[in-house]
């Protein structure tokens, strides 16, 4: 009988790599969530469908998917058998913010060379003592990603098809405020006072701009923070408080909703990895 989920996660001693995640899911569906890091996804078995910037995407065999930071996405099995995936979370030293737009426009790469390089990097990251090789493999992955994204770059004064980008609006201001106050809570009333807007209008503007409600955005960011603390060996009770959750059960509820496993199981999988 195939287990419903298997997870192995760890934080390697390789600059630029925030986390490595290997997982198999047959039923779990990721809700809309965000990461501070770039997500490099390959699927070894089955397929994943996901939404990014209100466009439905997928991972046919042999592709590499690059999901940019701060852009909400979800994910679910595209087949009845589920999927088995390997994921790298990479910080902004590998790809800077210029490449976020190009990645949103086309996150899935049918590129055998890139796929092979990502697989080689995973193999090196799974072998303690091979950190120098992993750094070398990471450099090649970054080089190839930049080669694929660079032709899509536009001048800073322009948006897609030569259009000037829309001015920063209320949604961006609210996101900045939520980010600045993470993990401490900011109430909707307080945000409304600071941004001089009605609370309901704030929620509508944020949800329309980013495809995720403000409270779900905050919880996803807190779960991301908790992941790093757990992989650093911190007990779940301490992690809950430090990541901004009310208590450990509050952390567990939201963590399992996003990751499909409890914080304790995730932490044990991290130590095993």
Same domain membership, residue 129 and residue 19: yes
Q: Residue 138 sits in which domain range?
A: 5-152
95 within some domain: yes
Q: Over 90: is that where the pLDDT of 34 sits? A: yes
Contact by Cβ (8 Å): 115, 76:
no
| pLDDT score, position 155 | 53
Query: Which has the closest alpha carbon to 126: 233, 13, 40?
Result: 13
Per-residue HEC secondary structure of 98-133 comes to: HHHHHHHHCCEECCHHHHHHHHHHHHHHCCCCCHHH
Q: How many domains does the chain have?
A: 3
Q: Taking the model in full, what pTM does it have? A: 0.86
φ/ψ of 32, rounded to 5, equals -60, 130
Same domain membership, residue 90 and residue 36: yes
Segment 14-26 shows an average pLDDT of: 94
Same domain membership, residue 256 and residue 242: yes
| pLDDT score, position 161 | 38
Same domain membership, residue 181 and residue 109: no
Query: Which has the closest alpha carbon to 103: 151, 31, 48, 49?
Result: 151
Segment 33-51 shows an average pLDDT of: 94
Tell me how far apart the terminal alpha carbons of the chain are, to the nearest angstrom. 23
Contact by Cβ (8 Å): 12, 124:
no
CATH classification at residue 247: 1.10.10.60
Segment 28-40 shows an average pLDDT of: 94
258 within some domain: yes
The pLDDT-based confidence of 80 (bands split at 50, 70, 90) is confident
Same domain membership, residue 171 and residue 77: no
Distance CA 48, CA 122 (A): 19
Same domain membership, residue 206 and residue 219: no
Same domain membership, residue 221 and residue 195: no
Same domain membership, residue 50 and residue 89: yes
Q: What is the pLDDT of residues 214-257, one digit of tens each?
A: 999 999 999 999 999 999 999 999 999 999 999 999 999 999 99
159 within some domain: no
| pLDDT score, position 218 | 94
Distance CA 171, CA 204 (A): 9
């Amino acid at each position: 009988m195939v287990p419903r989920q298997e997870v192995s996660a760890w934080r390697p001693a390789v600059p630029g790599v925030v986390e490595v995640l290997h997982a198999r899911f047959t039923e779990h569906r990721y809700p809309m969530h965000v990461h501070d890091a770039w997500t490099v996804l390959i699927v070894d078995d089955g397929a994943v469908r996901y939404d990014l910037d209100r466009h439905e995407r997928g991972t046919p065999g042999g592709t590499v998917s690059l999901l940019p930071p701060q852009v909400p996405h979800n994910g679910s099995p595209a087949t009845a058998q589920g999927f088995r995936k390997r994921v790298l979370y990479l910080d902004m030293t590998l790809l800077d913010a210029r490449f976020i737009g190009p990645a949103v426009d086309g996150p899935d790469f049918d590129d055998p060379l890139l796929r092979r390089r990502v697989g080689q990097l995973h193999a090196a990251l799974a072998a303690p003592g091979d950190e120098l090789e992993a750094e070398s493999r990471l450099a090649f992955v970054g080089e190839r990603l930049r080669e694929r994204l660079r032709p899509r770059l536009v001048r800073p004064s322009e948006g897609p098809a030569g259009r000037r980008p829309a001015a920063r609006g209320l949604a961006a201001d609210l996101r900045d405020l939520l980010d600045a106050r993470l993990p401490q809570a900011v109430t909707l009333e307080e945000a409304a006072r600071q941004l001089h807007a009605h609370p309901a209008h704030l929620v509508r503007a944020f949800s329309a701009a980013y495809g995720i409600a403000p409270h779900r955005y905050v919880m996803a960011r807190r779960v991301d923070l908790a992941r790093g603390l757990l992989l650093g060996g911190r007990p779940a009770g301490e992690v809950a408080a430090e990541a901004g959750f009310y208590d450990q059960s509050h952390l567990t509820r939201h963590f399992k909703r996003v990751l499909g496993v409890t914080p304790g199981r995730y932490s044990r999988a991290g130590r095993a990895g």
